[in-house]
Amino acid sequence: MTDGKNQRLERIEHEIVRELSELLHKELKDPRVGFVTITGAKISPDLTSARVFASPMGDARATSQTMRGLSSAAGFLSIELGKRLGLRRTPTLRFERDDSIARGVRLTTIIDEVQRADEARSRDDR
């Protein structure tokens, strides 16, 4: 069972994800930041810091540039987040790469290839 304090932290984490996604889409002008999805956030109990999980898309160079751009923009994003969330303390943001979406896409591709190979073998066996 989740207590009230944990529910509050979870709500704030959810709001951080939502607001950062919007900020990245509408406000951030850093050309290094390409297509990226904010997949989650984990805020410290004292609200002073937050780990933000980001899933950048593209090749290795593009994803690396996106993560550098996010790290560089962390101060700006933190200030904007503070304005939007109305917290007394605005957490310091630390972006961490989350490759789960890319892994999922890769697994889906592999599964599709196996299915196509099985279907081709089935046709050949007839």
Q: What is the pLDDT of residue 5?
A: 63
Domain boundary assignment for the chain: 4-99
Measured distance CA(55)–CA(89) in Å, rounded: 26
Its pTM stands at: 0.78
Q: What is the CATH number of domain 4-99?
A: 3.30.300.20
Residue 83 has pLDDT above 60, yes or no: yes
Tokens of 35: 């297509």
Edge-to-edge order in the sheet of strand 36-43: 36-43, 49-56, 92-97
Measured distance CA(55)–CA(35) in Å, rounded: 9
81 CA to centre of own chain:
16
- For 13-44, the pLDDT digits (tens) are 999 999 999 999 999 988 999 899 999 999 99
